[in-house]
Structure 1
Amino acid sequence: MKNQNSLRTYRAAYTVRPFNLTPAHRISIKSICDFMQDTADLHAREIGFAYDQLPEGRAWLMIRLRVEMSHYPRNREKMEVETWASGTDRFFAFREFLLFDEMGNRIGCATSNWVMLDLIRKRPGKIIPEIEALPWPDLPKPILDLPKHLSPQKVDFTQRFLVRYGDLDIMGHTNNAVYIGWLAESVPQKYLERYVPQVIDISFKQESVAGDWVRVDAEHLSEGVFRHRLVRERDGVEMALALSEWRLRETEPSKE
């Protein structure tokens, strides 16, 4: 993997591989989120604030992610992810993403909100001064509107998922990208076969661990639009709320 990086922004190149694909021969939304997570870690490491470079007892925790996609690359196509930290506000840090195809065309964007978790107190702490003092790039945010998430008023579809050890992140909790994959599978089969997510917008509230069963409820709001709730079944705790919007997939012949 090659990269172009600086203190202000970071860009990494990826090749879409068979294990990134859906049956429609397109990269999955989960793999898109995996790539963004990797690029964010590379940039944080470059500026000295990756997870293992933080003061002892502190950790990054993503609490909001909105992804907007206009195109999903195919097998062996290349794509690039550009990211930058866009500022802080006491307890919150913000990070943006742009996604490009191998011709340099923009195919997606994302915005994310993070907190710096105090691992002793098990609650968010203030962003440390060293991070607040960083020179944030003066770049426009690709997504400005983050509407409040609402819980589904009724359940039209539901799926259950068992948290496996391989689903866990370095903190022992289910990886955020796994939640995205579950969310994408909670819609009717026709959407999985003929549509792709155009928008995934999720607020993370609680964690799950290996052995937990997670129920993903979906309310069908209108054609291609769903409201989601992720529930930890052992205690009924609401773990995440989300909105997804789907559009018909491009139908040009496969390059396989």
Structure 2
Amino acid sequence: MNKDELTQTFIHHIGPQEVDCSGYMSLTALGSAILNTAGDAAEKHNFGMNFLLKEGLTWVVSRLSISIDKLPKMYDVIKIETWIKNYGRVFTIRNFKIYNSKREEICKASSQWAVIDLKTRRPFDLRNKPEWQQYATEESRGVEDPIGISAISGELISEHRVRFSDIDFNQHTNSMKYAEWMLDSYSPDTLKNRSITQFDINYMHEALYGQNIKIVRSENENQSLFNLTDNDNFSVCRAAIRWRL
């Protein structure tokens, strides 16, 4: 399989429900579009959710990094390019570049994924799927791998009880719901006057229905750090938002 076939392209139309009060595509909608593109790309190569679920397996994202130069507006059309950088024993990295209708690169993203067994909730050894290796490009193309985020000490700013609407088909909190909870800790005026240039998130443990999640935040001039913990004070995710000055 040649390199051109390993890069997949998808067109996404920005709907009204994907735009927040700033008038631009929201972070959660952007993240969802990126993650949905990963799923669509995997389906086209026959290792997507429909394939894995038949074997009692599923994909889960463990890290996501999004760099934002410019956000699209309502009814804009964007092109999302995606390719797999590499496969390891447990993790695989998939990268993305996003272009507007003028063919300008407006965002980049990198994601780290694992396959887990739905019964044991334990990671699946990707070496048991050697046929997937043919889809790895071994190319970053200027996209940096998602980073690890250290624990922080900060201020408890809010709590959220996981609701039915937070849960996805994997029976745990949907990946972008965490970002939604973080952004909900700010006022609309704050978010209207600040734009995000970088978003990094690490998913540490599953947040399940009924759990009470504490949201701790630490702020400096251009960065906000988050630590979300469960009832037992374990981190379910950590995140960093860098703001454009």
TM-score by length of 1: 0.86
Residues 205 and 236 of structure 2 are in contact (CA less than 8 Å); yes or no, is this contact kept in structure 1?
Answer: yes
Q: Map of 1:17-166 to 2, 5 A cutoff? A: 17-54=15-52, 56-127=55-126, 128-137=128-137, 139-144=139-144, 146-155=146-155, 158-166=157-165
Secondary structure, aligned partner of 1:44? helix
Output the aligned Cα RMSD: 2.0
Quote the offset at 1:77 in angstroms: 1.2
Cα pair 1:7 1:46 within 8 Å, conserved? no
Residues 1:238 and 2:239 are matched in the alignment = no
**Secondary structure, aligned partner of 1:31:** helix
Q: CA deviation at 1:179?
A: 1.3
Within 1, Cα distance between the matches of 2:69 and 2:103? Answer: 14
Inter-CA distance 236–68: structure 2 relative to 1 (3 Å threshold): same
Could you tell me which amino acid in structure 1 is paired with residue 95 of structure 2? E
Mean Cα deviation higher: 181-190 or 99-108? 181-190
Equivalents in 2 of 1:219, 1:246: separation in Å?
13
Name the count of aligned residue pairs.
Answer: 240
Q: Distance in 2 between matches of 1:217 and 1:143?
A: 29
In the TM superposition, what are the counterparts of 1:182-201 in structure 2 within 5 Å?
182-187=181-186, 190-201=189-200
Q: Distance in 2 between matches of 1:179 and 1:131?
A: 33
Stretches of 4+ aligned residues off by more than 6 angstroms:
none
Question: What amino acid does structure 2 have at the position aligned with 1:152?
Answer: I
Is the alpha carbon distance of 1:33 and 1:202 closer, same or farther for their aligned partners in structure 2, counting shifts above 3 Å? same
Q: Which runs of 5+ in 2 are unaligned?
A: none
More helix by share: 2
Does the CA contact (< 8 Å) of 1:111 and 1:142 recur in 2?
no
Q: How many percent of aligned residue pairs carry the same amino acid?
A: 22
The residue type paired with residue 25 of structure 1 is G
Q: Residue type matched to 1:48 in 2?
A: N
Pick closer, same or farther for the CA change 1:53–1:217 going to 2, 3 Å. Answer: same
Aligned residues of 2:19 and 2:26 also touching (Cα < 8 A): yes
CA distance in 1, matches of 2:148, 2:168: 27
What letter corresponds to residue 241 of structure 2 in structure 1?
S
- Tell me the alpha carbon deviations over residues 41-68 of structure 1, each in whole angstroms, 9 at most, x when there is no partner: 1110000001120261221111111111
Q: Report how far residue 111 of structure 1 moved.
A: 0.6
Q: TM-score, normalised by structure 2?
A: 0.90
